[in-house]
Structure 1
Amino acid sequence: MTDGIRFRATTKSDLDACTELLSAAGLPVADVSLERLALIAERDGKACGLIGLESYGPVGLLRSLVIDPSCRNAGLGRRLVSALEQQARSQGIDELWLLTIDADRFFERLGYRREKRDSAPPAIVATGEFSGLCPDDAVLMRKRLAT
């Protein structure tokens, strides 16, 4: 990539940097774990974005998209979502769900659609994000992934 940003799978050594990024953005950190963090974007060895994924068979929960302010407005969020969608497809995930407080318009531009909370599949309802980490007024969204 010409902007010097590269994506890679998160590792245990990334947990502190990921927690810092999430905290700075006001996102939940109570259940941060390597299993929930999928990809990290870095420039010059410094974390500048991340995105998470929880897999539940054919459905997945997109988690914790966050971009450091110094890397915003350059399409990094869109690129991270696209990379995560490719990863999800390779894991056999047919649709991604997410909860957001203020990024619904961003995700709509990427093909996600608003859904009623009672339409979420049981695996998504059972997640900590759905059942308590995100407020009840968070927007639930879904995207069917093309195969």
Structure 2
Amino acid sequence: MSTMKIRAARSDDLDAIKALLGENGLQASDITVLLLKDFLVAENADGVLVGSVGLERFGGNALLRSLAVAQPARNSGLGGNLVARAEDLARASDVSELWLLTTTAADFFLRWGYGAVNRSSASAELLASTQFAQLCPASAGCMKKTL
């Protein structure tokens, strides 16, 4: 596996991020250039985008979202590296709790210290977010980690 570089997302990464999320069956309809300021991407040695993760902030809470790794880069530890970097970004900006919704990756997030919580325990701001209110099905698991 060639080396991966994780960097802050740029506005010109938007289409590639949306394509990656689509390939992974994740929602991308609400991602805007503005939201990308708290996104990280991973690129391979050829500069091809092979991973993404984002934070959507709501005061002292943030939604960890849009974690995706391209098929060829899976099982390389990249997903965990992206989560760790997103957590560093959250801590650096005074976020104390990270929340996420997942239908497929609960086991992965459990390994990274996220615990299952009742969706209704999220803050009003989080519950009103597009992810909670519209995009993620009620069947999605809700998880939280205190930083």
Equivalent residue letter for 2:62: G
Structure 2: gaps (5+ residues)? none
Other-structure match for 1:41: 42
Q: Percent identity?
A: 42
Mapping of 1:45-84 within 5 angstroms?
A: 45-84=47-86
**Deviation digits for residues 77-98 of structure 1, max 9, x if unmatched?**
0000000000000010001000
- How far does residue 30 in structure 1 lie from its aligned partner after superposition? 1.1
Equivalent residue letter for 2:94: G
The 8 Å contact of residues 10 and 34 in structure 1, kept in 2 or not, is answered as no
Equivalent residue letter for 2:72: S
Other-structure match for 1:5: 4
TM-score by length of 2: 0.95
Distance 1:20 1:141 in 2: 25
Distance 1:117 1:19 in 2: 26
Equivalent residue letter for 1:24: E
Q: Which piece of structure 1 moves more, 52-61 or 29-38?
A: 29-38
Equivalent residue letter for 1:41: A
Distance 1:68 1:39 in 2: 14
Other-structure match for 1:86: 88
CA RMSD of aligned residues (A): 1.1
Distance 2:55 2:42 in 1: 15
Equivalent residue letter for 2:83: V
**Deviation digits for residues 87-143 of structure 1, max 9, x if unmatched?**
000010001000000100100000000001111111110100000100001000000
Equivalent residue letter for 1:34: V
TM-score by length of 1: 0.95
Aligned match for 1:116, one of 99, 115, 118: 118
Structure 1: gaps (5+ residues)? none
Aligned match for 2:106, one of 104, 107, 110: 104
Q: Could you list the runs of 4 or more consecutive aligned residues of structure 1 that deviate by over 3 angstroms after TM superposition?
A: none
Distance 2:137 2:126 in 1: 15
- How far does residue 29 in structure 1 lie from its aligned partner after superposition? 1.6
